[in-house]
A and B are shown apart, each in its own frame.
Chain A
Amino acid sequence: MIKLALRGARANLGRLILTLISVVLGVAFVSGSFVLADSLRSIFNQVSEDAFAGVDAQVRGASNDMNSTNGETPRFNDDVISAIANLPEAEYTEGGLFSFERAYTIDANNEVVRPTGPPVFTGSWSGPSPVSSFRMIEGEPPTGQQVVIDPVQAERGGFVVGQEITVSLPTGEPEVFTLSGTIDFGEGGTGGAFFILFDLPTTQRVLGLPGQIDSVVVSAATGVSPDELVTAISAVLPDNLEAVTGEVVIGEQKEDFGTFINIFGNVLLGFAVVVLFVSTFIINNTFATLVGQRTRMFGLMRSIGASGKQIMQMVFIEAGSIGIAASGLGLVGGLGVASALKRLFSSAGGEFPDGPLEIRTRTIVVVIIVGMGVTLASAILPALRASRVTPLEAFRTGGRASRPLTVRIALGSAVLLLGLVFMAIGMFGNPGGTSATLALIGVGGALTFIGVSMLSAMFAGAVAGFIGTPVAALRGVTGRIARGNASRNPQRTSSTVTALMIGLALISGVAVLTRSILDSFEEVLNESISADLWIFETNQGLEFSGLLVEQLAELPEVDQVAGFSPTAIRIGDEVLTATGFDSTTGTSVVNMGIIDGTAEVGRNGIAILDSVAEERQLAVGDQLSVEFEDGFVTTLNVRGIFDDAAIAGADWLIDRDLSREHRITDAITFAGLTYAEGVDPAVGRAVVEATTAAFPQLSVQDNTEFQEEAEGQIAQLQVVITALLVLCLVVAFFGIVNTMVLAVLERTREIGLLRAVGMTRRQLQSSVRWEAAIISLFGALLGVALGLLLGWAAVIAIPDSFVSKLGIPWGQLVVYIIVGGLLGVVAAWFPARRAARLDVLEAISTQ
């Protein structure tokens, strides 16, 4: 039986290979996701371990649930260094100060040197020591007006050790430092992050934090365990500080990186699952067709004594051998996918640290299970069908009766309905937790697609006939034949294009959502923004010094200027984000839609989004107890209710004077300003730009530029997502090739007849291609229609503060439909050639 099955697999090698490719793509994506995530995890684990290798204990400000949300760690007075160094348990003691994104090196072209993905750290380093995070690669540790950086940054900026480089500083005053050397963490490099390191006094000076540090790292004296060291240190620490072992620090670091990598890996896996899902339709279609074509053979085998079970086994063995092959190839392909993904993200602005790709046992096991599972599962129905072939069917000619359409319609409708219900619960119900929502939407979406695929067989013939009408009219009899063939086997047409349909549905759904986001954004900008200029960090909207607001306010050309900074606050026992803004000037740059009271909340006031106020039953005149990240508690008066959360950036608004006093840094995420009356915009802008020149990481943009920039960024995200989804189209492509090869084979005799009565090779090719074009246009139309539906559902499900109106990118959708059609034409290239090359006589005499 096994031999027979394998022989069957070999006999159909060509089409099985095509099927194989579609499984391999899905499996490779799964394996690639694991490989990439695992490799990143290893690199970052290595980085964490290298960085804290010699550290037995670390002292830090006790962080609470509020300041841990914004990256910066609490600062404290540097006099603890000597207290700790004096302990007999301590061998080396070193205080340090670090900050995110506060300084940048400037290259010869006066451009900021920056990594595109990972952060830039500014901090202190006192040279190699047992507790040092860094190792010297070249040159000397920094002292005084000297700086060391990582080698990647040095290369990017074209810096050589010994030269003078300009560093832009948080205070807005660039200074020239001598590059005294380069550093990294060890084997793992720096994980892609940029470092700009000075000695501690210089760091404190340039960060504007004299006498402040944020950590002390200590190594234990011989014979002292890390735990003993921690105990000894804790005894001399003030209340607001804590000591932990190096192991704890490494663990926390790994966890931090791990969280990010897990999210990233899971997103990739999500795409992989979609691709796999799509390929199950292709596998299923292939097996169904193969079983259909071999009905007679199965009948014959039944009549000479094979049991239905044996026939079923045969089909499963065939499927299993594909599954094994696909798993193996997919595993290896995963390496390719991983590096391709790395490149894709790099080209889209992300940056991955270099490191070897890693295949873990877990990956191998998962890939084999997935590859086998998907293939076997797709073969279940065809195998069942094969097992039900009766001996009589060996002698019956012509097709067997397919399952009655009513059953299919009922089943398809049920599945579709179930899918829609699941999605609705996921979107509008509150299933509890993001993962539950995602699971419901995912399963619902899958069921919806299956349902539509089943139902589409119902109208595939008619619609394909309709689409083919212009083709028939334009291309004459060649077109008529193409149209006839496209609509003659609706079930096959519909299952062939399911992959295309799903791929395009997702892609156009994303396009609709993107357009909607942009349209909503544009509306917000037009209605709520009165600023003449915006200032923000170019790449990622990172924070920058709030000092700039004061500097701009002094310009005679500027009328009003307001900075905005997100601030963690606690109300009751909930940690929330409030936006701190300059409440006296803020309303002149944005309009957050005050519906009651005022936006000028003042130092002891707060404004609330209407829906939140309603939920919490708060109104103007009420009082609220609010805690800040430094532990300061105050009572704020509700002064205003607003209705536009998009522009406020948060549900709560407080005054920036209040927020800056209780935040670790005085940083803002953006600032807006208006020109003084009578100022020529060109002049005004020039003056503003002269001021911001000291902060080379900042962009100055007017509304239109701001909008264009946002569009560009969102469009880029769309490109990345679409690129990932394009893999579905690749799978779909092979599905179409597969079907067309099968169709040509099945119609060999008909092709022979056509050629005999005078159809030229060219005409034959053209008719096969048109057939594929019609089929795939059908899939594309269905897909884009579903995509519109998906996009619309998403717009409804996503809060209005993010997307408030449906935007339909007609141009893009039309392009997708055309691409879908062309996909069919290209997919039919090989089958069409094959058809054209058939020997006429042989074709006619085929049984």
Chain B
Amino acid sequence: MTAAARIVNGTKTYGTGDAAVTALRDVNVQFSGAQFTAIMGPSGSGKSTLMHCIAGLDRLTSGDAFIGDTRLADLKDKKLTELRRTEVGFIFQSFNLVPTLTAEENINLPLSLGGRSGDREWIDTVIDTVGLRDRLSHRPNELSGGQQQRVAVARALASRPTIIFADEPTGNLDSNSGSEVLAFMRRAVDEFGQTIVMVTHDANAAATADRVLFLNDGEIVHDMANPTADRILDTMKSIGS
């Protein structure tokens, strides 16, 4: 079985000449289906870059990125956009929702952009799972931060993408709301077989994942299976952050 997403010899360099910054150095990684992966590392280590390149938001300077069997370098903007719409889900740290749309419209956004109505039953399940049934007609500014992130999770799940990327999804939340959001992501992986990759700074958050990748200076320096918060903290210390 092919991985949900992978990077082969991926290098990303910003700028040229003296000002060049290498954010990823010859990275090889794959994310298998129905797995919850956390990415950790010091600030500037290349976590976001890795995610952006594999999610089709940015292009590698050299090497290849794949979603399923699709080589992203082969796609023009339109196809890439369609791929993001159908195969990829996003959860950002903040400002995840379109303020003029209701919670429900936000959840359906990727589907409706593609002119599809999606699997209603599935979407109902998602909405119930994240507990938003009574907030569907609210606009983002009428929702708390935690509720907004839950809407974002629901949106990411709604189109049943091959893989979901979350960049510090709990970074702006209090610990209660944060753990709620984490719990939903965990359930999505366990109950619905969703693949999720999450960047986080929080060892406890990373501990809910199945696997933790540690990045430093653009390289994957450690790959930990079945993590616990303590082991994560130890590894982080050893990297020196």
Which A residues are in CB contact (< 8 Å) with B115? 476
Taking each of B81, B96, B112, which has the highest tally of chain A beta carbons within 10 Å of its own beta carbon? B81
Residues 822-847 of chain A: 1 if any B CB is under 8 Å from the residue's CB, otherwise 0?
Answer: 00000000000000000011001000
Q: Are A481 and B100 touching (Cβ within 8 A)?
A: yes
Q: Are B52 and A484 touching (Cβ within 8 A)?
A: no
Q: Are A841 and B99 touching (Cβ within 8 A)?
A: no
Report the Cα distance A840→B59, complex, angstroms: 12
- Does chain A have a CB within 8 A of B114? yes
Q: Are B113 and A484 touching (Cβ within 8 A)?
A: no
Which B residues are in CB contact (< 8 Å) with A759? 81, 85, 113
- Does chain B have a CB within 8 A of A665? no
- Does chain A have a CB within 8 A of B120? no
Q: Are A480 and B57 touching (Cβ within 8 A)?
A: no
Interchain Cβ contacts within 8 Å, total number: 75
Q: From A760, which residue of chain B is reached at the shortest CB distance?
A: B81
- Does chain B have a CB within 8 A of A757? yes
Which A residues are in CB contact (< 8 Å) with B86? 758
Q: Are A749 and B95 touching (Cβ within 8 A)?
A: yes
Partner of A756, one of B57, B77, B100, B105: B57
Partner of B82, one of A481, A488, A758: A758
- Does chain A have a CB within 8 A of B155? yes
Report the Cα distance A521→B101, complex, angstroms: 54
User: Which residues of chain A from 741 to 756 have any CB-CB distance to chain B below 8 Å in the complex?
Assistant: 749-750, 753-756
Residues 368-396 of chain A: 1 if any B CB is under 8 Å from the residue's CB, otherwise 0?
Answer: 00000000000000000000000000000
User: Which residues of chain B from 90 to 149 have any CB-CB distance to chain A below 8 Å in the complex?
Assistant: 90, 92, 95-101, 105, 108-110, 112-115
Residues 757-770 of chain A: 1 if any B CB is under 8 Å from the residue's CB, otherwise 0?
Answer: 11111110000000
Q: Are A757 and B77 touching (Cβ within 8 A)?
A: no
Which A residues are in CB contact (< 8 Å) with B99? 484, 488, 750
Which B residues are in CB contact (< 8 Å) with A763? 113
Q: Are B101 and A758 touching (Cβ within 8 A)?
A: no
Report the Cα distance A43→B108, complex, angstroms: 71
Partner of A484, one of B84, B92, B101, B112: B101
A753-B96 in contact given A480-B105, A758-B85 (Cβ < 8 Å) = yes
Q: Are B109 and A757 touching (Cβ within 8 A)?
A: yes
Which B residues are in CB contact (< 8 Å) with A478? 113
Partner of A757, one of B58, B78, B84: B84
Report the Cα distance A526→B155, complex, angstroms: 69
Report the Cα distance A480→B101, complex, angstroms: 8
How far is the CB of A483 from the nearest CB of chain B, in Å?
A: 8
Which A residues are in CB contact (< 8 Å) with B58? 841
Partner of A754, one of B52, B78, B92, B98: B98
Residues 309-321 of chain A: 1 if any B CB is under 8 Å from the residue's CB, otherwise 0?
Answer: 0000000000000
User: Which residues of chain A from 295 to 343 have any CB-CB distance to chain B below 8 Å in the complex?
Assistant: none
- Does chain B have a CB within 8 A of A776? no
A758-B98 in contact given A753-B92, A841-B52, A841-B58 (Cβ < 8 Å) = no
Q: Are A753 and B95 touching (Cβ within 8 A)?
A: yes
Q: From A750, which residue of chain B is reached at the shortest CB distance?
A: B98
Partner of B90, one of A477, A480, A481, A756: A756
How far is the CB of B130 from the nearest CB of chain A, in Å?
A: 17
Report the Cα distance A476→B110, complex, angstroms: 12
Report the Cα distance A758→B161, complex, angstroms: 12
Which B residues are in CB contact (< 8 Å) with A477? 101, 105, 108-109, 112-113
- Does chain B have a CB within 8 A of A485? yes
User: Which residues of chain B from 165 to 200 have any CB-CB distance to chain A below 8 Å in the complex?
Assistant: none
Report the Cα distance A759→B155, complex, angstroms: 14
Report the Cα distance A477→B118, complex, angstroms: 14
Report the Cα distance A478→B86, complex, angstroms: 17
A757-B100 in contact given A840-B57, A841-B58, A844-B92 (Cβ < 8 Å) = no
Residues of B participating in the A interface, judged by any CB pair closer than 8 Å: 52, 57-58, 77-78, 81-82, 84-86, 90, 92, 95-101, 105, 108-110, 112-115, 155
Some 25 contacts from A to B, beta carbons below 8 A apart, are A476-B115, A477-B109, A480-B105, A485-B100, A488-B100, A753-B92, A753-B97, A754-B98, A754-B109, A754-B113, A756-B90, A756-B92, A757-B85, A757-B113, A757-B155, A758-B81, A758-B82, A758-B114, A759-B81, A759-B85, A760-B77, A760-B82, A761-B77, A762-B78, A841-B57
| Smallest CB-CB A-B distances: 10 pairs | A758-B85, A484-B100, A477-B112, A758-B110, A760-B81, A758-B113, A757-B110, A758-B84, A759-B113, A841-B57
